[in-house]
Structure 1
Amino acid sequence: MGLIMPFRGFSPRIADDAFIAPNATIVGDVEIGAGSSIWFGVVLRGDFNRIHVGAGSNIQDNTVVHVGDAPADTFIGDNVLIGHMAMIHGCRIESGSFIGMQAMILDGVVVESGAFVAAGSFVTPGKRIRSGELWAGRPARRIRAVGEKEKLMIGRGPARYADLAREFGREISLNAQSGEPSGGTALRGV
């Protein structure tokens, strides 16, 4: 398991079956729901306010999740897919939405269920991305309705990553049992 660190009297609360990569960092007031996966190099820093990650969500490699100034918790719902190297800051990402690789989602943004933020997008503070909308660009704007391809990514992505997380967890456990270096135990409760 990665670095799990209390801060200001708050300890991260992580579901027993969540996958935490060996080099992920989780600090302070952070809650991670059942079946979620926090991948390699991810940082979740709940120091000023709270971070909530729902069940079945995945946050991919080298993503940073932080909170905004009070009262700016960061909320990530259930079955959310967040791509590699995203920046998630003081915003609300509702269940069943998709955030592409290297997207930046800033303070006060709301990404509604079923919305899709394309890779590399920069969503400026206070925007609302409505259900069924695809946003892209720097700064991001509404491009069109979510198409069938995006709907498939939203629908299948979280389950695919849950399967992959279980496979990584088994491999890490096997390596630990055989004495191979594994970087720590990553999947508890299996």
Structure 2
Amino acid sequence: MILTHAGTSPDIHPDAWIAPDATVCGDVVIGAGARVMHGARLVGEAGGRIELGRCCIVMENAVIRAGARHPCRIGDHCLIGPGAHVVGATLEDQVFVATGAAVFHGAHLGRGSEIRVHAVVHVRTRVEAGAVVPIGWVAVGDPAQILPPDRHDAIWSVQEPLDFPQWVYGVARDEPAAMVEVTRGLSERLGVHGGDTDAGS
């Protein structure tokens, strides 16, 4: 399904292919030879562009999102695995994001880096060119520290000052009603999708 959102329709190269049950919504530019497979979702919110480079492959049920504060650029010859989640990040060319991996707002993945199965790249984290985040491990910080998931205290010591709630939602972590503010803001921003239309109509 190709949807116009907030007056912006996806720009899809004629040589790209989008599965009929995938969703491409809003400010999304898709390059030549790209393939967006079944159940994948690419959503460029108002003011937040997604750029998908030449011969990029987005596998089944992957999610790629961008918002006004966090655009998303994926370079040429990248592979986004099934069920992976990439939001508001920059991926240089030839990056591999494996099945179930998550890459968050403001992350930057260098050319040829690999984010393996169920690995996580936190907000504002820079993974160097050619680096590997192993299966289930966590990359956090700039430059990234790559740590096993059982090192929670070490991960948190780097992650806490990156301030996910403030960076992503503009809400202070210590705000007493933080979740109320986060969900209220998201409700308002996502509510505009009620006006999305089929880009072919």
* Aligned residue number for residue 27 of structure 2: 29
* Aligned residue number for residue 69 of structure 2: 71
1:99 aligns with 2:103: no
One-letter amino acid of the counterpart of residue 104, structure 1: A
Cα distance in 1, alignment partners of residues 133 and 74 from structure 2: 18
* Aligned residue number for residue 39 of structure 2: 41
User: What fraction of aligned residue pairs are identical, expressed as a percent?
Assistant: 34
* Aligned residue number for residue 85 of structure 2: 87
One-letter amino acid of the counterpart of residue 80, structure 2: I
One-letter amino acid of the counterpart of residue 55, structure 1: R
Conservation of the 8 A alpha-carbon contact between 1:74 and 1:92: yes
* Aligned residue number for residue 60 of structure 1: 59
Cα distance in 2, alignment partners of residues 91 and 22 from structure 1: 26
Conservation of the 8 A alpha-carbon contact between 1:4 and 1:12: yes
* Aligned residue number for residue 17 of structure 2: 19
CA deviation after TM superposition for structure 1 residue 71, in Å: 2.8
Conservation of the 8 A alpha-carbon contact between 2:137 and 2:146: no
* Aligned residue number for residue 2 of structure 2: 4
Higher strand share: 1
* Aligned residue number for residue 180 of structure 2: none
Q: How many residues align?
A: 140
Runs of 4+ in 1 over 4 A off after TM superposition: none
Coordinate RMSD, CA, aligned: 1.3
* Aligned residue number for residue 133 of structure 1: 131
Q: Unaligned stretches of 5+ in structure 2?
A: 140-144, 148-201
Q: Unaligned stretches of 5+ in structure 1?
A: 144-190
Cα distance in 2, alignment partners of residues 56 and 71 from structure 1: 26
Conservation of the 8 A alpha-carbon contact between 1:18 and 1:32: yes
CA deviation after TM superposition for structure 1 residue 123, in Å: 1.1
Cα distance in 1, alignment partners of residues 32 and 99 from structure 2: 23
TM-score normalized with structure 1 length: 0.71
One-letter amino acid of the counterpart of residue 5, structure 1: L
* Aligned residue number for residue 168 of structure 1: none
CA deviation after TM superposition for structure 1 residue 138, in Å: 4.3
TM-score normalized with structure 2 length: 0.67
One-letter amino acid of the counterpart of residue 75, structure 1: R
1:53-104 C-alpha deviation (Å, 9 max, x unpaired): 0111000000011114x33101111000111000111101111111111000
One-letter amino acid of the counterpart of residue 31, structure 2: G
* Aligned residue number for residue 109 of structure 2: 111
Conservation of the 8 A alpha-carbon contact between 1:26 and 1:44: yes
Conservation of the 8 A alpha-carbon contact between 2:138 and 2:146: no
Greater relative CO (CA pairs within 8 A, separation 6+): 1
Equivalent runs, 1:105-184 vs 2, <5 Å: 105-136=103-134, 137-140=136-139, 141-142=145-146
One-letter amino acid of the counterpart of residue 142, structure 1: I
